[in-house]
Structures are given as C-alpha cells and as structure tokens.
Chains A and B, each alone.
Chain A
Amino acid sequence: MSPDEFLPTLKTRFPEVEFQLDPLNPRALKMSASGVPEVFAWLRDAPEAAMEFLEFSTAVDHPPDRLELVYSLYSYTHRHRLVLKVDLPRHAPTIPTLAHLWQNADWNEREIYDLFGVFFSGHPDLRRLMMPEDWEGHPLRKDYSHPNLTPRPD
C-alpha cells in the first residue's frame, strides 16, 4: 500500500487521530501525537500493513516552536514503506515510547532524547546514548551553543 492508500484506512480505524498527507513529501503521512503508540501497534500487527521493521526514527528541529519526529516503517511481507511524522511542541516535547513494539526503537529514542531532548514516556532506559552522561543541553537543537563550538568563518 502507498501512503494515500493507507490514509482512508487509518482515518476510519482511528477517527480520533488526525492524519493528512505530508504537503512536503507525498510518501509521508503526518499524524497527531495522540495516535502514538496505538497506530503503530496496529500497523505492526494488522495483516494488511504488517510493518515488521522500524527502519529508523529520528527528529527534525523547526524553531521557534515545532519539533517533528519522523518514523519510517517497512514491511518485508508486502514490501511497502510508510513514513509517519508527528509534530511536538518544542518547549516540552513528550511522546509515548515505541520500544515495546520494535526493539531498535530503544536506542533510536535514546539518541533522539540525547540530541533533541524529546522525552519518551514509558521508555525502559532513557539515558543519553552519544554524549557523556553529564553533558548539558541537546546538541542538534538549532539554537544549541557550547564553549567548545567555534563557528566556521564565512
């Protein structure tokens, strides 16, 4: 199934969650944060979706007020792919974890927590992954600064 074929199915199954095609990328769907993790559990277990594989999850920082999570799912059974994007408020981004659905979400989410400061509720072990444990701040936020950071001269 392609994203526009997923759209009506998801809309009827989850009437309380908002879905729309991503205007920037026709191969992606935007959804509201209220659908996590039920939509993902359905996408993994429903035979018509059968998304066995969470390819990656990552985040994009859109200052001043938006932080976008990106999930890419793949099905070995049907050989189709679906990219889901969730907008979060930038000042306090919190979202339920997917670590109980796909094991690799564990470290992906630790990385997002480390570099973007997204808090994943229900995560089994939410510690920094890349930076030292005592590091302050989240380096991939666009307004990040650090004494060690020398700007590149133009």
Chain B
Amino acid sequence: MGLMDRIPAYVDRLPGGSVVMAPVDWAINEVQASSMWYMLFGLACCAIELMATGAARYDFDRLGMIFRATPRQSDLMIVAGTLTLKMAPRVKLLHEQMAEPRYVIAMGGCTTYGGPFYHDGYSVLKGVDKIIPVDVFIAGCPPRPEALLNGCLAMQEKIRRNKLGQPRGPAIHIPPTAGRFSIPSGSPPSERDPQIPG
C-alpha cells in the first residue's frame, strides 16, 4: 500500500507535475506528528530508559524523533525522572522557551504524581502537570521502552486529532504494560483509522 492511499488527499496530475489537495489540518498534523524532535534532558533513573529507547535496539528515529539539545528546536518535552522542587522552575523555563506547538510527555511515576517520593518526600514536585500542561502520562517505575514508544505513538495519534483553532484533547494515560494505548472516550473521532502496531 503506497503512501498516497493512506492520505485523505486528492492528487491532480498536470502536465509537468501534480498538485496535491489536502485539508490544512491534516497536512499540519501529519508534519508535526512525523517529526517530534524531543528535548535532550533527563532528571533521574527514567532518563536511562529514555536513552535506551533512543538507542539502536528500540530506535526513536523510526518515529521521526531526534533529540535536540536546545528547547528552541524541540517540539516535544519528555520529562523523564524525579522532578524536584529545585528543578521545577528550570523545567518550566525550558518549556516556555520551546516554540508552539509544544507537547509534553510525563514519563514514569515521579513525573505523574511523585512516584516513590509521594509519601515522606519533601523535595519532589508531585506531578509535573502542576507546572506545565501534559499530553501523555506514562505509568511505570521506570516505564519499559515499549511503554515509552507506546506513549510516543499515542502522542502522534493525539497530534493527528488536532483541529485548527480548537483546544487540544484531554491527556492520555498509558498503562505500565506494553499493551496498546487507548484513547479516552469523548475525544473526537480520528480522521484516519489508527493503524498502530501494538
């Protein structure tokens, strides 16, 4: 099946070339979803798993994800690790330095709700969504690379459901197993059949 069969587009062949007619939404979303460049930073043990996912065995590159060492060139922030109260203003600043549209994945229990430091921890921020908006939460301590890849696929799927001028859908929660993610009910139907490898 060729690429052209999968896109909701109309191709008009002209002498000397062709014109592709497609919805603006679709084109913008597809471009964003296929090149989620993520910011290169990690905070704790989850960052090791993030590195493993970026390395050859699991290979982020096949999703079009390449790490960037500066927020100015990043589209996606994967908050991987324990976010301390001391680090929280820095992460907020980095998020503000990223250009719109920017997306955030909260990876692991620590960034989701405080993780192992929820009880008896005085120095850990209990949920990164207290300071920046989060699109995908991934459970696990740490999440396996499969779960992280699953979260990135969910992120892509969420980007593909964006509608111009409308607010983003609700956050997606990825369970710790490597099972296929589920989009919460109530979110708008997809433009395309979600052919997501599980």
A residues adjacent to B (C-beta < 8 A): 130-132, 139, 144, 146, 148-153
Q: Are B118 and A150 in contact (CB under 8 A)?
A: yes
B124 CB contacts on chain A under 8 angstroms: 148
Shortest A135–chain B CB gap in Å is 8
With CB as the reference atom, state the residue of chain B lying closest to A147.
B122
Q: How many A-B residue pairs have CB under 8 A?
A: 28
Which of B85, B86, B119, B123 touches A150 (beta carbons < 8 Å)? B119
| Residue in A148, A152, A153 whose CB lies within 8 Å of B122 | A148
Task: Provide a sorted-by-A list of 11 A–B residue pairs whose CB atoms are within 8 angstroms.
Answer: A139-B123, A144-B122, A146-B122, A148-B85, A148-B122, A148-B123, A148-B126, A149-B120, A149-B121, A150-B118, A150-B119
Question: Closest CB of chain A to B45's CB: distance in Å?
Answer: 18
Residues of B within 8 A of A131 (CB): 86, 123
In the complex the two chains form, what is the Cα distance from A12 to B120 in whole Å? 47
Tell me whether B85 and A152 are in contact (CB under 8 A): no
Determine the distance from Cα of A152 to Cα of B85 in the docked complex, in whole angstroms: 20
**Which residues of the other chain, A, contact B126 by a CB distance below 8 angstroms?**
148
**What chain A residues lie within 8 Å of B119 (beta carbons)?**
150-153
Interface bits B87-114 vs A (CB < 8 Å: 1, else 0) = 0000000000000000000000000000
Residues on the B chain within 8 Å of A153, using CB = 119
With both beta carbons as reference points, the residue of chain A lying nearest to B124 in the complex is identified as: A148
Tell me which residues across on chain B come within 8 A of A152, comparing CB atoms: 119-120
Q: A131-B86, A149-B122, A150-B120 are in contact. List 19 more A-B contacts (CB 8 A).
A: A130-B123, A131-B123, A132-B85, A132-B86, A139-B122, A139-B123, A144-B122, A146-B122, A148-B85, A148-B124, A149-B120, A149-B121, A150-B119, A150-B121, A151-B119, A151-B120, A152-B119, A152-B120, A153-B119
A59 to B126, CA, bound (A): 28
- Cα separation A151 to B121 with both chains bound (whole Å): 8
User: Closest CB of chain B to A47's CB: distance in Å?
Assistant: 44
Closest Cβ–Cβ distance, residue A42 to chain B (whole Å): 39
Chain B: CB-nearest residue to A133: B86
Chain A residues whose CB sits within 8 angstroms of the CB of B121 once the complex forms: 148-150
Inter-chain contacts of B85 with A (CB < 8 A) = 132, 148
- Measured in the bound complex, the distance between the Cα atoms of B123 and A144 in whole Å is 12
Inter-chain CA distance A150–B119, complex, in Å, is 5
- Please give, as numbers and ranges, the residues of chain A lying within 8 Å of B122 by CB-CB distance: 139, 144, 146, 148-149
